[in-house]
Chain A
Amino acid sequence: MTASETQLRGPNTKIRQRHLSNRAIVNLFIWPTLLLLIAMNVFPLFYSLYLGFTNYSAIAGKAPVWVAFQNFNNILNDKNLWQYFATTGRYALMTVSMQTLVGFLLAMLVREKFKGGGILTTLILIPMMISPVVVGMFWKLMYNPTFGFFNAILGFSDPSKSPDWLASRFAGHPTPGLALWAIVIADVWMWAPFVMLLVLSGLKAIPDYLYEAAAVDRASSWFQFWRITLPQVAPLLLIAVLFRTIEAFKSFDLVMGMTGGGPGVQTELISVDLYRIAFLGQFRTGLGSALAYIILIIIIAVSNLYIKYLNQSRGEG
């Protein structure tokens, strides 16, 4: 046992200990946090589970009635819901892959120091620190076909001949999927810098002498990238992908700011639908809880990967 884990005994310990024992300290320091977390997380989790088996409605004023698996059944058989899951999955795939690619490219561009590089890097990080709903609102303004900057920058000057992103129309013709792309672009804008940061930290950790040895040995650039750069960066990329995938599944704020799920249901991500079910209209709390649980299970599966990976890399580090 190291000194940090034992009570060092000095000449005065014959006297009744007037200070807290280590045990007491640990308890005092940890329990308040644990209790709060349990109250705010574990309890709701169980309550939610219970509610999933009822047909409770928060505004109906009636007591919850047990309906067993009816909610789950409804959900699993609801084609619309499957579609929302699919939309969410597609969204996650699109945004995570693009973020990773763009972020990685950015990192490779910025890796060698140059004057002002620090400032530029800091500036690029601003997008990810802004409230997502605010970001959503801003891109909504920018995407406006009449007076938004997005189309103007792309070169579309005539509103009737340009894409209306959030309405999924191009020059008046419906182009499904456009709105989802619009959201993906905004999300990539927000989070590619995050990936860039992550990759940069990995790049900086690669010792110069590896590249120098490669120079002396006349190694090709491909070899240097594949054998020196990529292996060092791969673990961080994995962290980025896992982390952002989890967040993409949970995505709510950005979509609400931009489209609220529309047009139609093109951008109805699963969390938006959950909100709609439980907090709008009929306040179908029971159904909402069941749905929440299903979402939870999916996310736990992915999160598990992340946390396991995290522990593993901490173990080595």
Chain B
Amino acid sequence: MSTIELRQVEKKFGDLHAVKPLDLTIHDGEFIVLLGPSGCGKTTTLRMISGLEAVSGGTIWLNGRNVTWLHPSERDIAFVFQFYALYPHLTARKNIAFPLQAQGESRETVEKRVNEVVKLLRIEHVLNAHPGQLSGGDQQRVALARALVRRPAAFLMDEPLGALDADFRESMRSEIKRLHVLQHATTVYVTHDQIEAMAMGDRIVVMSEAEIQQIGTPAEVYYDPSNMLVARFIGSPGMNLITGKYADGVVQMAGLENRYAVPQGWQSALKKGLDGGSEIVMGFRPEAAQINDRGKLVGKVYASEMQGSSAVLHLTINENDIIHIRTHRLIPYPIDTLVHFDINPQMIRFFNPKTEAAIKPEVTQ
């Protein structure tokens, strides 16, 4: 059992609040991703779990043990760094064997485990080289091997794929996920790449500005973002967010004078959610819109992108907002053409512009 619990964990650097008090429970065997832009606090949180940063407040529990003030080597965790952190003057083999040797394991055990791990990661051919002589991908595999060799309770990974070339990144992504499944190990993974997070995570913790914005499965975070931040950050391109005025079941947008009738069942939720205000933000993902000559909404073409099997159309609907619509119609759209479209009523979302929080629909029986 390796559960990790963070209770009101926070971090301050002088006056700078790098991580505001947060609570997080990570289940045994889970692959959880801390996702967010630079400076959001995700790396600092990971480092606090590892002990490389001391907490400014709160407690950290590993398997029911309070590890808040334990030295990193006493927490039974392994850490994989973005820049591999391999000891430059040891061979790859010695690098991998090192953690076990430092723990005083017998030579046979060390030998056995190293070979196991080397086979798993398929790095037999680089064992006698020094890290400086290896490619980025191989170095990262050696770093992973070094982490795996101890069979720790949890793996902590700090943007391990960040320093690799794009093509490597994709193959390493699946390798890491495969390893995770084979080892049944709890993994906490930090990244700023939302595609990576969506592909790998059992659950995603979206962070921004030192706070947790939302915790959920990839599907939850994608289809039901809890605020505008998450809505924009997840997805490529992110969710379209348009401001408008709401009254009596209709959203009025500026510019091309679009009027959108909210679907059945949203009205009471919106009334409650907007709390008397008239400004509203509506959101929909690029694939939620359908281009339709008789569509009730209209936009002017700003640009279009061919992306292989689909295309993304960028439309302006007023002088401030550009929305993106994904279509499988691969016909060219000249700039400034007017395009009509509809939005799938199941996939429309609404947000309160003042709080930026999502407005939850009423649950209908």
Chain A residues in contact with chain B, CB under 8 A? 207, 209-210, 212-220, 223, 227-228, 231
Contact = CB atoms under 8 A, between A and B. Distances in A.
Q: Which of A207, A214, A218, A223 has the most CB of B within 10 A?
A: A218
Nearest to B99: A217
Given A209-B81, A216-B78, A231-B88, 8 more contacts: A212-B81, A212-B85, A216-B51, A216-B79, A217-B98, A218-B103, A223-B102, A227-B89
Contact of B85 (A210, A220, A227): A210
Contact of B79 (A207, A213, A220): A213
**Interface SS of B by simple majority:** loop
B87 A212 contact: no
Interface of B: 50-52, 71-74, 77-79, 81-83, 85-90, 98-99, 102-103, 146
Contacts of B51: 215-216
B90 A212 contact: no
Given A215-B52, A219-B98, A219-B102, A210 B87 contact: yes
B73 A218 contact: yes
Q: Which of A210, A217, A218, A223 has the most CB of B within 10 A?
A: A217
B102 A207 contact: no
A219 B72 CA distance: 11
Q: What are the 3 A-B residue pairs with the smallest beta carbon separation, nearest first?
A: A218-B73, A213-B85, A209-B85
Contacts of B52: 212, 215-216
B44 to A, nearest CB: 13
A38 B333 CA distance: 73
B89 A218 contact: no
Contact of A228 (B71, B72, B83, B87): B87
Nearest to A210: B85
A195 B282 CA distance: 65
Contact of A212 (B77, B79, B88): B79
A114 B249 CA distance: 62
Nearest to B73: A218
B81 A218 contact: no
A212 B74 CA distance: 14
B87 A227 contact: yes
Nearest to A219: B102
A259 to B, nearest CB: 45
A286 B80 CA distance: 69
A214 B189 CA distance: 20
A208 B35 CA distance: 23
29 contacts: A207-B85, A209-B81, A209-B83, A209-B85, A210-B88, A212-B52, A212-B72, A213-B79, A213-B86, A214-B87, A215-B52, A215-B72, A216-B51, A216-B52, A216-B72, A216-B79, A217-B73, A217-B98, A217-B99, A217-B102, A218-B73, A218-B74, A218-B103, A219-B98, A219-B102, A227-B87, A227-B89, A227-B90, A231-B88
A84 B71 CA distance: 57
A209 B82 CA distance: 9
Contacts of A207: 83, 85
A218 B146 CA distance: 13
A77 to B, nearest CB: 50
Given A212-B81, A217-B98, A219-B102, A231 B89 contact: yes
A134 to B, nearest CB: 44
A214 B72 CA distance: 10
A170 B173 CA distance: 75
A215 B83 contact: no
A218 B88 contact: no
A223 B146 CA distance: 17
Q: Which of A213, A218, A220 has the most CB of B within 10 A?
A: A213
Contacts of A220: 102
Contacts of B77: 216
Contacts of A217: 73, 98-99, 102, 146
Contacts of A218: 71, 73-74, 99, 102-103
A231 B99 CA distance: 20
Contact of A216 (B73, B82, B89): B73
